[in-house]
Amino acid sequence: MFSLSSVFVGLLCVATASAQLITGAFTCEAAGEYTLCQNLWGAAAGVGGQNSTLISTSGNEVSWMTNWTWANGPNNVKSYANVESSTVKGAQLSNITSVPTAWNWTYATKSSDIRADVSYDIWLGTTPDGTPATTASSYEIMIWLSGLGGIQPVGSVNTSGIQIGGHNWTLWSGPNANWEVFSFVSADGDITSFTSDLNDFFEYLVANQGVSTSQFLQAIQTGTEPFVGSADLIIESFSVSLS
């Protein structure tokens, strides 16, 4: 015989252990208005591993964590564990008035040799839909809230001393495959509590870098690109919406 309480305990274990931790290289799971993906696309450039865990969702907020250790290939990105918004996509830039976002995060632990960013990865293209990093992509816009260990974005420095949303940024630019990459890198050190309107970044690129307002917002992803070291990164809360 077994008691009712042991059945409940068993069900809880299934829900927390198998539904929320993901360990496969390309495993994804539903996370409220987001999809959480491991995306260990560069793992072959090094040795190590990474796991990600969905902590909770509430409305358009998501909380998650990722736990990684990578060695070798110090200049190669190993992965981009991320959440991608399922709701904020498909709009034309000319139609967007604001893209409010809030993100706070912390490293619970990190190694002294860590090389990693904590970043937005935003994809634009000429059609409303299109998978990130494909022939459908025109622009990749990164916003680095953190870049530790001397890592650099694609390309070279384009413009220094940009002020957007109360923070200072250095803009890097350069080509990657068939799309152009713009990376706004924090010049103020780690921004661990970020509240902003992403449309301010889009308007900057339209005004200063020739990005057309006919471009469509195809995806907004947020996560981390580790190169080497080890860390437990906790995303306490992330949200993005569109109006």
Residue 127: other Cβ atoms inside 10 A: 11
Residue 187: other Cβ atoms inside 10 A: 13
Is residue 236 near ligand NAG by the rule CB under 6 A? Answer: yes
Rounded to a whole number of angstroms, the minimum distance from the CB of residue 209 to ligand NAG is 4
Binding-site string for ligand NAG from residue 160 to residue 199, where x marks contact by CB under 6 A and - marks none: ------xxx----x--------------x----x------
Which range, of 27-35, 77-85, 140-148, 229-237, touches ligand NAG by CB under 6 A? 229-237
For residue 236, indicate whether it is catalytic: no
Which range, of 27-35, 77-85, 102-110, 140-148, touches ligand NAG by CB under 6 A? 102-110
Mapping DSSP to helix (H, G, I), strand (E, B) and coil, where does residue 107 land?
A: strand
Do 62 and 82 touch, CB atoms closer than 8 A?
A: no
* CA dist., res. 79 & res. 216, Å (int): 26
Which range, of 39-47, 61-69, 117-125, 141-149, touches ligand NAG by CB under 6 A? 61-69
Is residue 158 near ligand NAG by the rule CB under 6 A? Answer: yes
Q: Which residues pair with 160 in a beta bridge?
A: none
Is residue 134 near ligand NAG by the rule CB under 6 A? Answer: no
Helix ranges, the chain (H): 4-20, 198-208
The contacts of residue 39 (CB under 8 Å, 6+ apart) are 26, 79, 80, 81, 82, 223
Do 120 and 222 touch, CB atoms closer than 8 A?
A: yes
Among the options 33, 84, 180, 225, which is catalytic? 225
Residues catalogued as catalytic: 140, 225
Q: Which residues bind ligand NAG (CB under 6 A)?
A: 23, 49-51, 67-69, 91-92, 95, 102, 104, 108, 158, 166-168, 173, 188, 193, 209-210, 232, 236-237
